[in-house]
Chain A
Amino acid sequence: MSEKKYFDPEDLKKFGNITEFQEEMGKKFFDYYAEVFKEGALTQREKALIALAVAHTVQCPYCIDAYSTECLQKGADEEEMMEAVHVAAAIRSGASLVFGVQMMNHVKKMTM
């Protein structure tokens, strides 16, 4: 009996099939997606590293697989990729820590 699982890496290959249930919106999304990742003011390599960082922020396993591969293909090395992940982590932790100011404000109001 095949093992049932919520996440199957093979499903990434079927991403394009989302047009099956809503063709027009799906097609527009993929056209937009392709446009975004073209070489522009940012290089494809820079966009891949940003995407890798964002993938870690949204914690999408499909995106992490896809953009780890993409970064390698675009010539990025391990150090650059991990630095991109640290950027994501720094922003996430910073976003929590900055609310420490709110906590401090509240505590200062409440205490002598």
Chain B
Amino acid sequence: MGVKQNTKTLFRRNVPLAQPRFQFQILERHTFNNGHFPTFSEKVSEHKQLPLTRGKLEILQLNLGKLCNQTCKHCHVDAGPDRKDQQMSREILQQALSLIETYNIPTVDLTGGAPEMNEHFKWFVEACFHLGVHIIDRCNLTILNAGKKYEDLPRFLADHHVHVVSSLPHYNKKRTDAQRGDGVFESSILGLQKLNALGYGQPDSDLILDLVYNPTGIFLPSSQSVLEPQFKRKLKNKFDVDFNNLIAITNMPISRFLEYLLETDNYERYMFSLLDAFNPATLEGVMCRNTLSVGWDGSLYDCDFNQMLNLKSDLPNPTIFDLQPDKLEGEPIVVHQACYGCTAGAGSSCGGEIA
């Protein structure tokens, strides 16, 4: 089942926003017409939480590459079918395995692009499964219907007890396709049905299927407790689809969502909506406290967003080959204006709400 691309990657269009440095300049130097906009550091220091520092490492998040079968309008990675250039190598994955085993890191979180498109995906998942680690696959669902190569993927995920965290921004086809590409909604539903048939999201099953909701426009997500019952009711009634939890994630003002904000003249409005919704109670639980993000080349970042802005962790040698997971506690976290995206409202992280 094919999906149409909504747009082309910034990389392919070779526009200035494709450069992380250019995005960072917009975030840091933009002048607002509607009054003073404090830096994230200023805002955090008002609550005496600066510097933000790391806690115990619980999640190693690996970005396996930017290759994806979709080109979503809001993508913070600038992923797409043309991004074949940056794929995580087996050598780096082997190093990750070694660290997971040595330091008993409880969770490995696989993201992309479509992480399943990395040629080492299955080998790595099998190796993690044998270590008994909790494996998260951030699956776009349509990859499950992307041809013969991926036909056995649902069964593979089930056999290895992979926790599937799948993107579905809305139960409404129009809304989903507008963000992710024509045909994505129908293919996503088919993907969910395949996973359900294997036991995912079913009562009394240990195969966990979570959905990721992210707004399909310039608004912030409501609380998961408001959204989850709607999604459960609508998807069950219309498509007989079940899932476990709905995870609500705020769109970050970087990469293609930043382009959308600038093109529609909504950048200032969106940034102020993030500022107005700043919730200091989220600071304790922001994901950079317990998660470390690894780039395709083994570089280390405090989160996947910092990775896309090329802001490496503030460590002497921020590469996976020099990583000492037991020495991370107390290390400062690199913050910037896009961090307002994680502290708005109930907060936002790869695991959903924070506060």
Q: Does B174 contact A (CB under 8 A)?
A: yes
Q: Out of B34, B170, B221, which one reaches A73, CB within 8 Å?
A: B221
Chief secondary structure at chain A's binding surface? helix
Q: Does B230 contact A (CB under 8 A)?
A: yes
Q: Which residues of A contact B45 (CB under 8 A)?
A: none
Q: Which residues of A contact B219 (CB under 8 A)?
A: 69, 72-73
Complex Cα gap A84–B226 (Å): 19
Output the nearest chain A residue to B231 by Cβ-Cβ distance: A75
Q: Which residues of A contact B172 (CB under 8 A)?
A: 77-79
Given A72-B217, A72-B219, A73-B215 in contact, is the A44-B174 Cβ separation under 8 Å? no
Q: Is the CB of A75 within 8 A of B227?
A: yes
Shortest beta-carbon distance, B247 to chain A, in Å?
14
Q: Is the CB of A77 within 8 A of B221?
A: no
Q: Does B220 contact A (CB under 8 A)?
A: yes
Q: Does B222 contact A (CB under 8 A)?
A: yes
Shortest beta-carbon distance, A76 to chain B, in Å?
8
Complex Cα gap A79–B34 (Å): 33
Complex Cα gap A28–B174 (Å): 41
Given A10-B34, A77-B170, A77-B175 in contact, is the A72-B226 Cβ separation under 8 Å? no
Q: Is the CB of B226 within 8 A of A75?
A: yes
Complex Cα gap A78–B227 (Å): 16
Output the nearest chain B residue to A74 by Cβ-Cβ distance: B222
Q: Does A56 contact B (CB under 8 A)?
A: no
Q: Does A43 contact B (CB under 8 A)?
A: yes
For the A-B complex, the count of residue pairs with Cβ-Cβ distances under 8 Å equals 36
Shortest beta-carbon distance, A100 to chain B, in Å?
38
Q: Which residues of B contact A75 (CB under 8 A)?
A: 170, 213, 222, 226-227, 230-231
Complex Cα gap A75–B175 (Å): 11
Highest count of chain B CB atoms <10 Å: which of A43, A44, A72, A75: A75
Given A10-B34, A72-B217, A72-B219 in contact, is the A44-B175 Cβ separation under 8 Å? no
Highest count of chain A CB atoms <10 Å: which of B171, B215, B226, B227: B226
Complex Cα gap A79–B324 (Å): 52
Q: Out of B171, B217, B221, B226, which one reaches A44, CB within 8 Å?
A: B226
Q: Is the CB of A73 within 8 A of B175?
A: no
Q: Is the CB of A43 within 8 A of B226?
A: yes
Q: Which residues 42-60 in A have Cβ within 8 Å of B in the complex?
A: 43-45
The contact string, 1 if C-beta is below 8 Å from chain A, for chain B 172-202, is 1011000000000000000000000000000
Q: Out of A45, A69, A78, A79, which one reaches B226, CB within 8 Å?
A: A45
Please list the residues of chain B having a beta carbon within 8 angstroms of any beta carbon in chain A.
34, 170-172, 174-175, 213, 215, 217, 219-222, 226-227, 230-231
14 contacts between A and B (CB under 8 A): A45-B222, A45-B226, A45-B230, A69-B219, A72-B217, A73-B221, A74-B222, A75-B170, A75-B213, A75-B222, A75-B230, A77-B172, A77-B175, A79-B172
Known A-B contacts: A69-B219, A73-B219, A75-B222. Give 15 more (CB < 8 A): A39-B226, A44-B226, A45-B222, A45-B226, A72-B215, A72-B219, A73-B215, A73-B221, A74-B222, A74-B226, A75-B213, A75-B227, A75-B230, A77-B170, A77-B171
9 A-B pairs with least C-beta separation? A77-B172, A73-B222, A75-B227, A74-B222, A72-B219, A75-B230, A73-B219, A69-B219, A44-B226
